[in-house]
Amino acid sequence: MVLADLGRKITTALHSLSKATVINEEVLNSMLKEICAALLEADVNIRLVKQLRENVRAVIDFDEMAGGLNKRRMIQSAVYKELIKLVDPSVKPYQPVKGRPNIIMFVGLQGSGKTTTCTKLAYHYQKKNWKSCLVCADTFRAGAYDQIKQNATKARIPFYGSYTEVDPVIIAQDGVEMFKKEGFEMIIVDTSGRHKQEESLFEEMLAVANAIKPDNIIFVMDATIGQACEAQARAFKEKVDIGSVIITKLDGHAKGGGALSAVAATSSPIIFIGTGEHIDDLEPFKTKPFVSKLLGMGDIEGLIDK
Amino acid sequence: LFNLFRGLVGSKSLTQDLMAPILDKMRDHLIAKNVATEIAHKLCESVASKLEGKVIGTFDTIATTIRTSLNEALVQILSPKRRVDILRDCLEARKNCRPYVMTFCGVNACDTFRAGAVEQLRTHTRHLNALHPPEKHAGRIMVQLYEKGYGKDAAGIAMEAIRFAKDSGIDVVLVDTAGRMQDNEPLMRALAKLIKVNEPDLVLFVGEALVDGIVLTKFDTIDDKVGAAISMTYITGQPIVFIGTGQTYTDLKALNANAVVHALMK
Ligand SMILES: Nc1nc2c(ncn2[C@@H]2O[C@H](COP(=O)(O)OP(=O)(O)OP(=O)(O)O)[C@@H](O)[C@H]2O)c(=O)[nH]1
Ligand SMILES: Nc1nc2c(ncn2[C@@H]2O[C@H](COP(=O)(O)OP(=O)(O)OP(=O)(O)O)[C@@H](O)[C@H]2O)c(=O)[nH]1
Ligand SMILES: [Mg+2]
Ligand SMILES: [Mg+2]
């Protein structure tokens, strides 16, 4: 399971509540200390961790509270709520509509996993009988078109791209136009990797967005990136209207907390997570079930959205 | 009397208690700059134990003393204990009539796995040869791509490539490998095999460790969150040989330890 280490540590800390005979300030503080240490180790932003500690503390008033059981439950649910707040901006994700074209544009830092995830997403919808296709508007990275071509061919997904056209705006526009005419429902546009320090790359992203007027812009974040993610996420959000987030590379030993902390900067919900390099390593994401599962609280709302 | 005098001018001996609040702040600061939590902890602990009991001068504050000490520790971590002088070693290999072999590996970096990897290298080869055409180099093609398509045994391809290089008098072989997570068993085994079979002169880990050194890329995208440089060298004990500072062919620089530490402590 993703972030299993973090989940285990937090659960252990919460268990210390049930073991303690009386729950006083000291017990609470030492539990919070453990939880915060676990969060920091998973790369969660230190500012957010401090906030979480303060918020949990603020909920608990030792003078006014009654019996031990009650306190325990209150503390546990406060921690649960704070963890959810950490990853959930309380914004509804864009819902694609069947029977009409949904134009989805992918943006993100270099190497974050855009191209791989584009194919995964197209495949995900194709399996559900949506007419899905891919447009390669990355004219910068060497081999970008071949990458999409090979991925798409393997998954039998129609694709559009060009070896000669150098303007990503033109390719994106032509590709989207063509697939719209052909009645495709999921039109997914891959773009080059970019970063905020290079203004021209950001202008290019805006130009593509203006040209194809996407219904949803998905920001792809690499789980292994750490604290540098937040400033980038904020900058992307300021330039184009990001509607959703996908976090990739959450498989293996990824700490993930840096990326999770950066979600807030986009004010957009995480819709999927990438958990491997293969085409079906994509899991729909829902905050509450995710946090419940992380804390071993059982699969309350069903993690997988069928 | 002496003690009293010392108290008056304010020089004091450092204790853990005195240092704790400042070290806490320093630690949080390092974490916020992307130094791994455990490593930030260890660094601050080592600074504390080094400074404990030290009597600091009249004009020094505890904060500046700690800062200076931390600064030194950081610079020391980043300063390679072992020099990796690739050019010298290449010339040495040429003298022995064999190519110098470098292997590049990393988390998701002869990539025979990821779609488009071969075409990516072919395009790069074409660009590099356009920049350095044979006409300028006595008719020699400066960069050649050795590939055998996808899904093949990487170790075998690398071996063929090295033999090919030897036969055609090529000086340096750079072996690109598929990116992999440490727990991707098959890919890790393939990498271990590639290294065992071919005994490259240098194995570089790109990004993010049976290696000789590290290439840390995308330094241009992280502002002052340069803590990864500390974490990587601290954990692996390996020097950072290059940093990538952009997407063009000349964006490969040596790491300036002082500049990194400066950004970290800012
Ligand atoms: N382990 C793992 N690897 C992934 C995941 N998603 C993508 N990758 C790998 O990450 C590397 C980069 O992925 P790409 O899809 O090429 O990234 P990109 O954002 O399109 O890169 P640029 O176009 O160069 O900006 C590839 O080696 C992928 O196989 C994931 O969820 N898990
Ligand atoms: N800004 C910036 N981008 C970089 C730098 N180094 C590489 N990139 C970009 O990062 C992306 C991925 O680079 P690759 O060289 O394909 O990475 P890789 O490790 O070979 O990836 P896989 O083969 O998919 O595992 C590309 O878009 C590169 O242009 C750098 O130093 N700075
Ligand atoms: Mg791409
Ligand atoms: Mg590669």
Task: Give tens-digit pLDDT for A148-198.
Answer: 999 999 999 999 999 999 999 999 999 999 999 999 999 999 999 999 999
Dihedral angle at the C-alpha atoms of B151, B155, B156, B162, nearest 10 degrees?
130
Residue with tokens 């050019």: B87
pLDDT on residue A253: 67
- Ligand 2 touching residue B108 (CB < 6 A): yes
B2 pLDDT above the threshold of 60: no
Smallest CA-to-CA distance from A268 within A303, A291, A240, A237 is with A237
> Which stretch, A65-74, A229-238, B136-145, B226-235, has highest mean pLDDT?
A229-238
Res A68: pLDDT: 58
pLDDT score, position B181: 63
Q: Token digits for B121?
A: 């290298």
SS3 breakdown of chain B: % helix, strand, coil, rounded to 5?
Answer: 50, 10, 35
Q: Give the integer Cα–Cα distance in Å for A261 and A245.
A: 12
What average pLDDT does the segment B148-156 reach? 80
- Give Cβ neighbours of residue A168 (< 8 Å, ≥ 6 apart): A137, A138, A139, A140, A191, A192, A204, A208
Query: In this complex, which of A37, A224, A227 lies closest to B107 when CB atoms are compared?
Result: A224
| Whole-number Å distance between alpha carbons of B39 and B5 | 40
C-alpha dist (Å) from residue B132 to B30, B53, B63, B137, B140: 43, 61, 53, 8, 10
Task: Give the Cβ contact number of residue A51 at 10 Å.
Answer: 14
- Please report the pLDDT score of residue A302 as a whole number: 39
Report the alpha-carbon distance of residue A262 to residue A198 in Å, rounded.
20
Does ligand 2 come within 6 angstroms of the Cβ of B50? no
Q: Which residues of A227-238 are buried (b: 16+ CB within 10 A; e: fewer)?
A: bbbbbbbbebbe
Share of chain B above pLDDT 70, in %: 86
Name the amino acid, one letter, at A151. N
Query: Which residues approach ligand 1 with their CB closer than 6 A?
Result: A 108, 110-116, 138, 141, 144, 192-193, 248-249, 251, 274-277, 281; B 108, 114, 179, 181
In order of A118, A170, B119, the CA distances from A135 in angstroms are 9, 11, 18
pLDDT band at B20 (very low <50, low <70, confident <90, very high): very high
Q: For residues A121 and A282, is the Cβ–Cβ distance under 8 A?
A: yes
The reported pLDDT for the residue numbered B81 is 72
Tell whether B32 lies on the interface with A, counting CB pairs under 8 A. Answer: yes
Residue numbers of chain A with a pLDDT score lower than 50: 299-306
pLDDT of residue A299: 45
Q: Is the pLDDT of residue B78 over 90?
A: no
Query: By percentage, how much of chain B surpasses pLDDT 90?
Result: 12
Token pair 């973090």: residue: A6
Question: Tell me, what's the pLDDT at A298?
Answer: 55
- What's A3's DSSP letter? T
pLDDT at position A172 is 97
Q: Do A253 and B221 touch (CB under 8 A)?
A: no
First to last CA, chain A: 19
Per-residue pLDDT for B194 more than 50?
yes
Q: pLDDT at position A96, please?
A: 96
For residues B6-15, average pLDDT: 62
Q: Is B220 in the pocket of ligand 2 (CB under 6 A)?
A: yes
Residue B148 has pLDDT above 90, yes or no: no
Q: Which pLDDT score is estimated for A69?
A: 59
In this complex, the residue of B115, B124, B223 whose CB is nearest that of residue A151 is: B115
CA B209/CA B234 separation, integer angstroms? 12
Q: Is the ipTM of this complex over 0.90?
A: no
User: Is-contact A84 A260, C-beta < 8 A?
Assistant: no
Q: Is the pTM of this model over 0.80?
A: yes
State yes or no: pLDDT of B95 exceeds 50.
yes
pLDDT tops 50 at residue B1: no
User: Is the separation of the CB atoms in B174 and B99 below 8 Å?
Assistant: no
- Cβ-Cβ pairs closer than 8 A, A with B, add up to 104
- Residue B37 Cα, gap to closest chain A Cα (Å): 5
> What is the Cα B206 distance to its own chain's centre?
7
Q: With contact defined as beta carbons under 8 Å apart, do A251 and A276 qualify? A: yes
- Where does residue B84 fall: left (phi above 0), alpha (psi -120 to 50 degrees), or beta otherwise? beta
pLDDT of B10 higher than 70? no
pLDDT score recorded for residue B251: 86
pLDDT at B58 over 60: yes
Nearest to B216 by CA among B232, B203, B198, B200: B232
Instruction: Kindly give the distance from the C-alpha atom of residue B115 to the centroid of ligand 2, in angstroms, as a whole number.
Output: 14
Which ligand neighbours the alpha carbon of B108 most closely? 2
Helix (H) or strand (E) holding B104: strand B100-106
Distances (CA, A) of A82 to A40, A91, A246, A304, B37: 15, 16, 21, 22, 21
Which of A109, A143, A249 comes nearest B221 by C-beta? A109
pLDDT value at residue B4 = 46
CA of A38 to the centre of ligand 2 (A): 31
